[in-house]
Amino acid sequence: MNNLEIVKAGLNKRYAKERRFKFYGIFSISLSMLFLFFLLFDIGAKSIPAFTQTYINLDIEFDKKSMKLQDQDSYSEETLFSASYSKLGRNALYKLFPEVTERKQKKALRQMLSSGARYDLRDAVLENNDYVGTTQNLWVLAGDDIDAFVKGLIDRNIPEADRRVKDYQVEWVDTLKAQNKIERRFNINFFTSGDSREPEQAGILGALKGSFYTMLVTLLLSFPIAVSAAIYLEEFAPKNNWWIDIIEININNLAAVPSIVFGILGLAVYINVFGVPRSAPLVGGLVLTLMTLPTIIISTRAALKSVPPSIREAALSIGASKMQVITHHVLPLAMPGILTGSIIGMAQALGETAPLLMIGMVAFVADIPQSILDPATVLPVQVFIWSDSPERGFIALTSAAIVTLLVFLFFMNLVAIVLRKKFETRW
C-alpha cells in the first residue's frame, strides 16, 4: 500500500520529535526543582551562623566600686538594677591581656565584648544577688565583629587593611582559643530577644509575638465572616440574581488584587478615617482579614458544594428547616475542607509583607508587644528590615528568620494536608 509506505518513511522524524519533547519536559521540571533546592539550600546555609553565638569566658569581679554601689550587705532590686555594669566586662579583659596599653588597642579590646554584655551581667546579678562583691566565672556575649570572625565570615587571610578585625585582635582570639576561653554556643538570644541594632543581640521574639497577635486578629475576624458569607452565597442566595453575581465577581476579583492595594486601603480607611493606631497588630489583622476573606470564602464554598444533595434531602424530609440542615449536617461534614482552606489562607497571610509595610509595621520596634494595640512588627517584615542592614551579622540573621518563617509555613501546610487526607470521605 503506497500510503503505508509514506507513513513508515516519516516515522523516524516523528519519533525523534517525541523523544525531544519528552526531554524538554523532564528538563523543565528538573530546572524548576533545581531552582527550588538552590533557593532553600542557599538560604539554609546562610542561616547556620546565626544559630550560634560567640561567648567569651571571663572572670568577672563584681566589685562594688566599679558597680558604683554603696558599701552595704544587701541591696534592693532597684539599686541593683540601676547599678553600673559597663566597666565589669572590660576590667576582666584588661586582666586577661595586661600587655595591652595603647589607647587604640585598648578600645579594640573593649569592643571584643558586645554592648549588650552589661545587661546580661545585670540580669545575672538580679538573679543571684550574692554575686555582689565576689568574682564569678561567666560566659559573656562577644561583639559582632569578633563573632563574625570566629564563625569564619571574616577571612583571616586577606590583607589587614581590608579586614574589620585587625591582626592584634586576631592574636587575642587565638590566645583565647588556646585557653578555651572562647566558644560558640547555641544562640538563644535569637528566640528570646527583640530587634536590636547590634546583630549579636538581635532576635525575633518581637516579630514572633507581633505575628502571633496579628494572626489572632486575622483569624478571629476572617473565619466567621468568610464562612458566613460562603454559607449565604452557597445555600441561601437566589440564583441568577444580578446582585449576587456582582458579589461573586467581587470575591473572585479580590482574590487576585495585588496585596499592596489592600495596604493602601488600610492606610486610607483604617488609619486616616477611623484613626486606628498605626503599626498595631489590630490594623495589620484588619488588613490581612480583607485579603484572606476571598480565599476562605472560595474554599468554604467548594467544601459546602461537595456535601452531596442526598444528605440534605434526607434531613429535609425528616422535617428539619434549611438552617438546621446546614448547622446540623452540612457544616460539620464540610468542616475539614473549611479548616483546610482556612489554614492555607492563614499561611498566606503569615507571609505577607507589602500591605503591612504600608500601614507602618516597619518601624524599628525593640519592645516586645504585649497586646494587639502595641506597635509591633511581623516576621516577614522583620526579614525585610534586616535585609537592609549593612552589618555582616544581619545576613545570617535574616536567613535564620526566613528559615523560622518557612518552618512555620511548612507545618501549617502539613497540618492542612493531613487534615484533608484524614477526613477525605468518598461519598
> Least distance in Å: CB of 187 to another protein?
20
Could you say whether residue 33 binds another protein (CB under 8 A)? yes
* Residues whose CB is less than 8 angstroms from the CB of residue 134 and which lie 6 or more positions away in sequence, other chains included: 62
Q: Give the residue, chosen from 254, 276, 415, 419, that forms a contact with another protein under the rule CB under 8 A.
A: 254
- If the CB atoms of residues 43 and 335 are measured against another protein, the closer one turns out to be 43
Contact set for another protein, span 158-197 (CB under 8 A): none
Contacts of 378 (CB under 8 A, 6+ apart): 207, 210, 211, 214, 281, 284, 350, 356, 361
Q: Which of 349, 376, 362, 146 is nearest to 259 (CA)?
A: 349
In angstroms, give the least distance from the CB of 216 to another protein: 15
**Cα angle 120, 125, 127; round to 5:** 95
Q: Which is nearer to another protein, 100 or 406 (CB)?
A: 406
Pairwise CA distance, residues 15 & 34, whole Å: 28
Site string for another protein, 305-344 (x = CB under 8 A): ----------------xxx---------------------
Determine if 124 is a binding residue for another protein (CB under 8 A). Answer: no
Q: Give the nearer residue to another protein in terms of CB position, either 225 or 302.
A: 225
Site for another protein in 344-403 (CB under 8 A): 347-348, 350-354, 357-358, 360, 362, 380-381, 383-384, 387, 395, 398-399, 402
Amino acid residing at 86: S
Instruction: Pick one of 48, 188, 220, 268: the residue that binds another protein (CB under 8 A).
Output: 268
Q: How many CB atoms lie within 10 A of CB 102?
A: 10
Residue 260 C-alpha cell reads as 499592596
Out of 130, 171, 258, 407, the residue judged to bind another protein by CB under 8 A: 258
Per-residue contact string for residues 217-236; x = within reach of another protein by CB under 8 A? -------xxx-xx-xxx--x
User: Please, which residue, 42 or 424, has the CB nearer to another protein?
Assistant: 42
Q: Cell 440534605 maps to which residue?
A: 312
State which of positions 45-104 bind another protein (CB under 8 A): 46
Chosen residue from 61, 198, 413, 420 binding another protein by CB under 8 A: 413
**Secondary structure of the chain: what % helix, strand, coil (to 5)?**
65, 5, 30
Interface residue with another protein among 297, 303, 315, 339 (CB under 8 A) is 297
Asked if 272 is part of the footprint of another protein (rule: CB under 8 A), the reply reads yes
- In terms of Cα–Cα distance, which of 71, 77, 105, 106 is closest to 91? 106
Residue 214: name the closest of 405, 407, 365, 378 by CA.
Answer: 378
Name which of residues 146 to 165 contact another protein (CB under 8 A). none
Question: Contact with another protein (CB under 8 A): which of 238, 275, 309, 390?
Answer: 275
Q: Tell which one of 251, 280, 325, 330 touches another protein (CB under 8 A).
A: 251
Site for another protein contains 7 (CB under 8 A): yes
CA distances to 235, 316, 319, 331, 332 from 313, rounded to whole Å, are 13, 5, 10, 15, 16
Nearest approach, Cβ of residue 156 and another protein (Å): 23
Contact between 210 and another protein by CB under 8 A: the answer reads no
Assess 41 for contact with another protein (CB under 8 A). no
DSSP category for residue 371 = S
* Rounded to 5°, angle at Cα 405 from 386 and 412: 165
Q: Closer to another protein at the Cβ: 85 or 270?
A: 270
By C-beta, is 376 or 381 nearer to another protein? 381
Retrieve residue 320's grid coordinates: 428539619
Options 167-175, 251-259, 302-310, 335-343: segment touching another protein (CB under 8 A): 251-259
Q: What is the DSSP letter of 328?
A: I
Q: How far is the CB of 53 from another protein (least distance, A)?
A: 22
Residues in binding contact with another protein, number by CB under 8 A: 93
> Using an 8 Å Cβ cutoff, are 43 and 386 in contact?
no
The strand order across the sheet containing 182-186 reads: 135-141, 52-61, 182-186
Q: Closest distance between another protein and the C-beta of residue 425, in Å?
A: 20
Distance CA 254, CA 342 (A): 16
